Amino acid sequence: MQKQLQEQIERLKKAGATYVDARWYPVEEANYLMMWNGNLKATTSSRESGVGIRALYKGAWGFSASSDMSNVGALFDKAFDNARVAAERVTFPVRLAEKEAIQASFSSPNRIDPFAVPLADKISFLKAMDEKLDQAGVAQRVCELIFMRKQIVYIDSEGSEIEKTIIEVFPSIEVMGLDAQGEMHSRKFKPARIGDTRGWETVDMQMFTENADRIVKEMNEVRTAEDCPKDDRSVILLPGIMFLQTHETIGHALELDRILGYELGFAGGSFVTLNDFGNLQYGSSKLTARADATLPNSPGSFGYDDDGVAAQNNLLIDKGILVGAITGRQMVEEANARARRQIFNGSGGTNRATAFYRVPIERMTNINIDPGEDGSLEDIIKNTEKGIILDGDKSWSIGSNREQFHFATDIGWLVEDGRVTNVVKNSTYKGETVKFYNSLSAVGDQSTWQVRYVDNCGKGQPNQIMQLGHGVPVCRFDNVRIGE
C-alpha cells in the first residue's frame, strides 16, 4: 500500500500539486464498555480502516477520504479536484513551514496491551466496581472502560514516512445521588497519569477501590450540604478542575488557527492577537505554561504530528508573559507574515486529525502549568483567609473568544482563616480570563502536580474529537465570584 500511495503522491505532484500527503490507517479499533447500575449497557467493539488524502494546489487545500481502497487513484483525484476549486477563493496562499524529512516510528508506551486482555476480565472489573459503588445514598453508578488503538502510516511529498501505533486507555467511575430537594449531584474518578505506561495496567483495582469509597463519601457530603454562597473569594482549584480551566482558557485560547480566525464560523476565536506575543501579561508571574508533547505516557504525546513534525516541548506563557502558541506548519507561516515579524520559529508539531477521514488541525498536546513554589495543598489552605476549594468538572461554558467563562464543580469546601470548614453543593465560579490569571496568587509544588487526561476534546468542522493531557498543580486565584 505504501508504494501505491507514494506513486499517487508523485502523480499529483506532476499534475501541479505543491504538496500532498496520505494518512493510511491499516486499522483503528476501539472497545467501549459501560455498566450503569449493574447493567452492562454497552459492550461495543469497533474497527475501521481507510485513507485520507490532503493536496495543496495554488495555495489551497483539498481533502478526500474513503474506507474503500479499491480505487485509491480516484481518491487522490478527488482531493486534487477539491483543491482546484478551493484555489478559486484564496486570500492568503497556504505556505508550509520548513521541516525535516523524517523516517521514523512511534508507539505509545504500554506494558499490557488492553486489546489482549479478555473481555471477561474487563467485565469483571466493571462488576467489581459497580458492587463497590452500590452504597447508601447512591442513586446512579456508572463504570466505563474505553480502549483505542490506531495504526497510522503517514507519507508526504517531502520525503517523510512515519508509522505510529497509538494506544489509549480511559477508565472511569461515577456516582450520583439526590439531595432532599430532589437535585442530582455527582462525583467521579478518572485516574491521573500513573507511571510511564498506559496499557491495561492503568486499570488498577486497588486504586479504583480506594477512590470508589472516596467519591461515594464526598458525594454524600454534597447531598446534605448547604448551597455554595454567592460571594467573592479566593478559589483553590484542585487538578480535577484546574485541568479544565487550563484546557478552556489557555489551551483553546492559544490555538493559532483560532487566533488567526480559522474557527470563527463555529468554535470561535481568541481574545489573543498577534501583537500580544511577547507583550501580553496573561497571568501573574507565578504562571508558566507549556505545550509539552514529549511528556511520557499521555494522550497528548504522539511522537510526530500529522504534518510529520516531531513532538516538542514549547513554552506558551513564561512567568506570566505570553510567548507561544499551539501551532502547525501552515499557521506559523501565515502568522509571521501577517505580523510582519518572526513570532514563531517553525511548526510546534501539534497538527492532528481524529481519524483518517478528517483533516489535521491544531490540537492541544499536553498543555501544562509548571509546578510552583507555594508548597503543598495544605500550605496553600493554611495561607488562605477566605476561600473555597473546588474539584470535579460539572459544567463549563466559555465566551466565543475565550475571554470569559463560567464553571460549575462537583464539590466545594469552604476555607476560613486557613482552615477547611464545610462542604458546599452547587459550587460555581466565573471570571474574565486575563483578569483571572493575573489574580493567580499561589501555585502548588510538585506534590500537587498531576497529569489529567481529556478523552473528548471537540473542535473543527467537520467536528473532531481528540485525546490529550494537562499537567497541572493546585492553583489559587483571588477575588473570584462564586455561587452564581
Partner 1 sequence: MKEQILQTLCELRAYALSKNIEAKFFYHEEDSYLMRFANSAISLNTNEHLIRLDISVYDDRKRASYELITDLHKLEEMKQGVDIAAEMVKHAMPLNYQPTVPTFAESFADETGFDSALAEISNEERLAYFNKAVEGLETDDIKLSGIFSCGANIIAQINTRSEHTQYFKTSDAQVSIVLSHSTLKWEVIAEQSAQKKSELNPSTLHRDLSYLIERYQNDTPQQIPLGRYDIVFGPAALGDLLNIMNWIGFNGGSMKRGFSFINEDQVGTKVFSDKFNLVDDPECLSTFPFQRDFMGLPRKTFPIFDQGVFKGFTWDQDEADEFDAQPTGHTVMHNSLVLNGGDAEVATLEELVAMPRENDVLYIPFLHYMNLVNPSKGLITASSRFGALLLKKDGSVVVPYNVRVTQSLLEIFSDKVAWMSKAQTVNNTSQSYGARNPTAIVVPTFVRVNDLEISHSNSSY
The closest of 253, 294, 298, 301 to 277, measured between CA atoms, is 253
Closest CB to partner 1 among residues 60, 474: 60
- Asked whether 326 and 304 are in contact (CB, 8 A), the reply is no
According to DSSP, the residues that pair with 310 across neighbouring strands are 304
All three cell numbers of 108, joined, read 505509545
- Which residues, numbered 301-360, are part of the site for partner 1 (CB under 8 A)? 357, 359
- Out of 104, 139, 192, 420, the only residue in the binding site for partner 1 (CB under 8 A) is 139
Closest CB to partner 1 among residues 221, 403: 403
- Which residues, numbered 20-59, are part of the site for partner 1 (CB under 8 A)? 35, 38-50
CA distances (Å), 210 to each of 171, 182, 376, 385, 424, in order?
Answer: 15, 28, 22, 31, 23
All three cell numbers of 169, joined, read 486507555
- The verdict on 61 binding partner 1 (CB under 8 A) reads yes
- Out of 14, 103, 118, 136, the only residue in the binding site for partner 1 (CB under 8 A) is 118
- The verdict on 224 binding partner 1 (CB under 8 A) reads no
Which of these segments, 318-326, 370-378, 437-445, 455-463, binds partner 1 (CB under 8 A)?
455-463
- How many Cβ atoms sit within 10 Å of the Cβ of residue 192? 17
| CA–CA separation, 79 and 17 (whole Å) | 10
- Which residues, numbered 398-437, are part of the site for partner 1 (CB under 8 A)? 398-401, 403-404, 406, 408, 426, 428, 430
Which of these segments, 97-105, 197-205, 268-276, 342-350, binds partner 1 (CB under 8 A)?
268-276
- Out of 1, 16, 92, 100, the only residue in the binding site for partner 1 (CB under 8 A) is 92
Closest CB to partner 1 among residues 236, 260: 260
Q: Measure the N-to-C terminal CA separation of the chain; round to a whole number of Å.
A: 57
- The verdict on 375 binding partner 1 (CB under 8 A) reads no
- The verdict on 120 binding partner 1 (CB under 8 A) reads yes
- The verdict on 7 binding partner 1 (CB under 8 A) reads no
- The verdict on 1 binding partner 1 (CB under 8 A) reads no
Which of these segments, 10-18, 315-323, 365-373, 397-405, binds partner 1 (CB under 8 A)?
397-405
| CA–CA separation, 417 and 407 (whole Å) | 25
DSSP letter for 234, please. Answer: E
Q: Name the CA dihedral angle for 280, 282, 287, 292, rounded to a multiple of 10 degrees.
A: -80
Phi, psi of 36 (to 5 degrees): -125, 120
- Out of 9, 51, 56, 65, the only residue in the binding site for partner 1 (CB under 8 A) is 65
